Amino acid sequence: MQKEVKILAIESSCDETSAAVVVDGRYVLSNIISSQIDIHQKFGGVVPEVASRKHIEVINFVVEEALKQAKISIKEIDAVAVTYGPGLVGALLVGLQYAKGLAYGLKKPLIGVNHIEGHISANFIEHKELEPPFVCLVVSGGHTFIVHVKDYGSYEVIGQTRDDAAGEAYDKVARAIGLGYPGGPKIDKISKEGNPDAIKFPRANFHDDSLDFSFSGVKSAVLNYLNKMEMTGGEVNKADVAASFQKAVVGVLTDNVLKTCQIKNINKIAIAGGVASNSSLRETLIKEGQKKGIEVLFPSPILCTDNAAMIGSAAYFEYLRGNIAPLNLNAKPNLKIGER
């Protein structure tokens, strides 16, 4: 019988400090997340220096708690995995240096993981029968990609944002209409009270048949609408603005990922990243996917956030291919999908 592979994974790319123990890439024994949302709320967004200091404060506790909940000794770990990009360089370095120290001290392999590939791999945890090929829509505060997952660890980027990420646009619009941070959940909630057809906000379409995204235009359109209302004394219905903005964003995300399935002749979509928790995106994709005979899969909300379980899943498939990182592995804040 093949030995189980137990991986201790660490994630610290932005404002969550997380550690997890994952077995064979699909079974989570523990997944501890220490969030900094309350700390950064007063700033209206993540402050990199503050995030880095908080990672330093809590990382040892988070790792110890992950091992405790998994009910295993650190000596039973087969490898140590860590996010080394993309992300905030200071935040990445905290997790990376800690992981390197562990790997060296334990004499265990170190596996460097791409944060975006981690988000994709969250679907292997949620849907244990899922296997490539499939199309993945990665939508978060810092990233928006359509990825053709050809095989484990083999990716082709089909579309990506040319400016703001979708989640970033959500945060900026939420701030503009006075909802606060984080914007995604707040806009999703208030949108349920609004009319999505009240205001026609634009959707970016490129003339080169690209499946790329642009969200700066719709964000600017919202800001221009708010300025116009202020100048003319018009009343702003926050729920209508939020619902109309969300309809424009969800519409283009849905259209482009369904077109990708058609081009690649694939009938399975997996969604990943923080915006994958958005109720409108889920409902719209499932509805439109059913019309075309396309299955749409989502991770649980906890696996949509930045978490170490997804890093442990991605690391397992790197481990199987023998992709072991050197102990001089450095943080790469602009690491691209598929880059090694």
Residues 6+ apart with CB under 8 A from 290: none
CB 324 within 8 A of CB 302: no
Q: How many other C-beta atoms can be found within 10 angstroms of the C-beta atom of residue 176?
A: 17
Per-residue pLDDT of the chain (340 residues; tens, 9 = 90+): 468 999 999 999 998 999 999 999 999 999 999 987 777 777 777 787 888 999 999 999 999 999 999 999 999 999 999 999 999 999 999 999 999 999 999 999 999 999 999 999 999 999 999 999 999 999 987 889 999 999 999 999 999 999 999 999 999 999 999 998 888 899 999 999 999 999 999 988 777 789 999 999 999 999 999 999 999 999 999 999 999 999 999 999 999 999 999 999 999 999 999 888 899 999 999 999 999 999 999 999 999 999 999 999 999 999 999 999 999 999 999 999 988 8
CA 305/CA 228 separation, integer angstroms: 35
Q: What is the pTM of this model?
A: 0.92
Helices (H), the chain: 37-41, 48-70, 89-106, 115-126, 166-176, 183-191, 216-232, 238-264, 279-291, 301-304, 308-320
Architecture of domain 133-299: 2-Layer Sandwich (3.30)
Report the distance separating Cα 314 and Cα 13, nearest Å. 15
Longest CA span, the chain: 73
Burial class of 197 by CB neighbour count within 10 A (0 to 12, 13 to 18, 19+)? exposed
Residue intervals of the chain classified under CATH 3.30.420.40 are 6-121+304-320, 133-299
If one looks up domain 6-121+304-320 in CATH, what number appears?
3.30.420.40
Report the chain's terminal Cα–Cα distance, integer Å: 31
